[in-house]
Structure formats: C-alpha cells, structure tokens
C-alpha cells in the first residue's frame, strides 16, 4: 500500500511538473489609451499597437478609444492602461493634481516615455456664421471638446487669454470631434475648437463638406498663455479652401506610462517607438513632426527608468 501511495505521489508530481513546464511565461499586456476614432491619437495608437505586437515576444496589445488626455492620465494612474497619449498641459496639471482640470489628487504614478508631435489649436467656423476672429465667437455656438478633455482645457485657456469665457458664448457644446462636425454640417453649431495634429480627419471632412473660416489665435494671446503653449502655424492648404497660413497656439503631446509597468516593457516601448517612426508616419502625417532630438523636451513628469535606460544608451542623457 505504501508503494502504491508513493508511486501515485511521484506520478502526480510528474504530471504537475509537466503542466507547469508547458505553461508559457506571462504575456506582456499593453493597452494603449488614445482618443476618439476621428482624431489623431487613435491611428497613432493603432500603429504603435502593431509595432509592439509584432516585436515584443509574447505581447498582447490593445487600443482603447477614450476621451483623450485627461481620461488617459486618470486611467494610467489606476493601472488600467500601459501607455497613453496626452497633451503637455494636461500631464502637468495631472502631476500637480488640479481638480478643476479633472484630477482630484496628484497623479504621482505617471512616468514619461517621450515627447512626440505638437497639437495645434484649430478653431474652425462655418463661413455663414461670419466668424473670423476670437472676439466674434461672442454670442455664437462653439463646441469645446468633450468635458474636461485635453481639448476642453485648451479651449478654456485660449478663451481666457482672449478675455472670453463660456458665459460669453451663445451656446457651449462639449462634444468629441466627429460629433462637433456633424452639428456644424447640420447648421446647429457655428464653430468647433479642436486640439489635434495638422490634417485631422474630422476637419478635413468638415472643410470638404462646407465652406469654413479658420480662426487665428494671435501671437499676443499665445504669449499671454505662456508655457507649455508656443506659437504655431496651420499652413495654407492644410484644409480645403484654406488659402493662407493661420497663426495659432501649439502644445506638445507626450507618451506617458506609469510606475507599475516593468522596466523591460518601458524600455521596449521606448526603443521600438524610435526604431519604427516610418510606421507611425504612415499612420498619420502628424507623426512627421516626431523628432528623436526632442524626445525629452518639456517632459512634465519623471521618466520611466526603462525609458531612461534607452536614452542613456543613445546618448540623449549623459
């Protein structure tokens, strides 16, 4: 009987060992937090997802459409994503814990991967509205982006620097890009403010569907805003019917992760980003502005140690 028991135990142990030996190592899961599908964050996220899925052994990747910057940062803090795209001012306010901006407490788990391309504040009005300047938005209907999104934070800042507030508008809509455009096409809205890379799909669609005016953000307003806003230009021909360069405000986007992501995963995400820029540029023209020499420019949060290791190897950090 003792022999049978011992034999059974040995057999059970052998089977258990085989089961564990056959179990693969835990796959790296990378959820990439982006924005609405009609914006630029989403196609950039899709391109990164493919790059990571193809090049990180055992990685499982996913792209999540969100309300963009503010939501992405809150989700990262909660560990509900491994990489997110966000506007620089949102990242700064998240690190500080600005409740008015949508951050109830400082988000101290956030860690930086890279500065990427700049967003341009693009204010587009229907030609029939007669709006050609910021001041002429008074009494008109404006969509300022989803509530407490990065775009909406930009809208508040731009209007404030121009001496305006939501109370001065005839109607304020808190809508994502595509929905804003649909309201304008249906003559239910006068203008939309969209903070995005140049050539965003929603505004291309709008300018192809109706006559529009691009509303400038003057240098004086940008100067009043100060960092992280800088002067930018929407080049003539970016949108249908746009015959002149339009001055505006620009702000850099960042790829952000969090402190619970492993050093190796963060290292690979950083390395593969810079080794696969052509894939990102194929996904959207805005990615043409991503430059390695600017990777750490204005980073509002500490670098992830995995990213830091990569930049030290490449000599960007001495």
Quick: pLDDT tens for 126-161: 999 999 999 999 999 999 998 888 899 999 999 999
Number of structural domains in the chain: 2
**Which value, to the nearest 10 degrees, does the dihedral of the CA atoms of residues 232, 234, 236, 241 take?**
-150
The pLDDT of residue 283 is above 70: yes
Q: Is residue 201 part of a domain?
A: yes
Considering the domain architecture, whether residues 235 and 284 belong to the same structural domain is answered as no
303: confidence class by pLDDT, cuts 50, 70, 90 = very high
Q: Give the confidence band of 20 by pLDDT, cuts at 50, 70, 90.
A: very low
Query: Phi, psi at residue 283, to the nearest 5°?
Result: -75, -35
Stated pTM of the model: 0.81
- Last residue of a domain, which of 251, 266, 281? 251
**Domain region containing 172:** 119-251
Percentage of residues in the chain having pLDDT higher than 90: 86
Place of tokens 């795209």: 85
* pLDDT tens digits, one per residue of 48-72: 999 999 999 999 999 999 999 999 9
What is the domain-level CATH number for residue 69? 3.40.190.10
Structure tokens given for 259 = 């402190």
**Where does the pLDDT of residue 27 fall: very low under 50, low under 70, confident under 90, or very high at 90 and above?**
low
Q: How far is CA 105 from CA 67, 113, 114, 202, in A?
A: 19, 22, 24, 33
> Is 15 inside any structural domain?
no
Residues 64 and 97 reside in one and the same domain: yes
What is residue 17's predicted lDDT score, i.e. its pLDDT?
41
């Amino acid at each position: 009987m003792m022999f049978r028991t011992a034999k059974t135990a040995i057999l059970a142990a052998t089977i258990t060992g085989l089961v564990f030996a056959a179990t693969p190592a835990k796959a790296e899961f990378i959820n990439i937090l982006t924005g609405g599908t009609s914006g630029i964050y989403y196609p950039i996220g899709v391109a990164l997802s493919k790059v990571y899925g193809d090049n990180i052994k055992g990685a499982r990747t996913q792209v999540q459409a969100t309300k963009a910057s503010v939501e992405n940062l809150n989700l990262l803090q909660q560990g509900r994503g491994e990489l997110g795209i966000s506007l620089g001012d949102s990242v700064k306010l998240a690190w500080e814990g600005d409740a008015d901006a949508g951050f109830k407490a400082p988000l101290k788990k956030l860690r930086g991967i890279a500065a990427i391309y700049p967003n341009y504040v693009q204010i587009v009005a229907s030609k029939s509205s007669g709006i050609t300047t910021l001041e002429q938005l008074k009494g008109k209907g404006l969509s300022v982006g989803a509530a407490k999104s990065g775009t909406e934070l930009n809208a508040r800042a731009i209007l404030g620097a121009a001496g305006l507030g939501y109370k001065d508008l005839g109607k304020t809509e808190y809508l994502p890009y595509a929905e804003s455009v649909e309201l304008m096409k249906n003559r239910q809205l006068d203008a939309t403010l969209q903070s995005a890379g140049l050539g965003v799909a929603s505004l291309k669609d709008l300018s192809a569907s109706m006559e529009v005016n691009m509303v400038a953000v003057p240098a004086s307003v940008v100067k009043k805003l100060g960092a992280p806003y800088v002067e930018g230009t929407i080049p003539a021909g970016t949108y249908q019917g746009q015959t002149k360069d339009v001055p505006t405000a620009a702000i850099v986007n960042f790829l952000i992760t969090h402190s619970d992501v492993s050093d190796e995963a963060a290292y690979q995400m950083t390395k593969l980003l810079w080794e696969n820029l052509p894939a990102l540029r194929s996904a959207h023209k805005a990615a043409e502005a991503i430059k390695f020499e600017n990777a750490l420019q204005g980073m509002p949060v500490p670098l992830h140690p995995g990213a830091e290791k990569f930049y030290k190897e490449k000599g960007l950090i001495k």
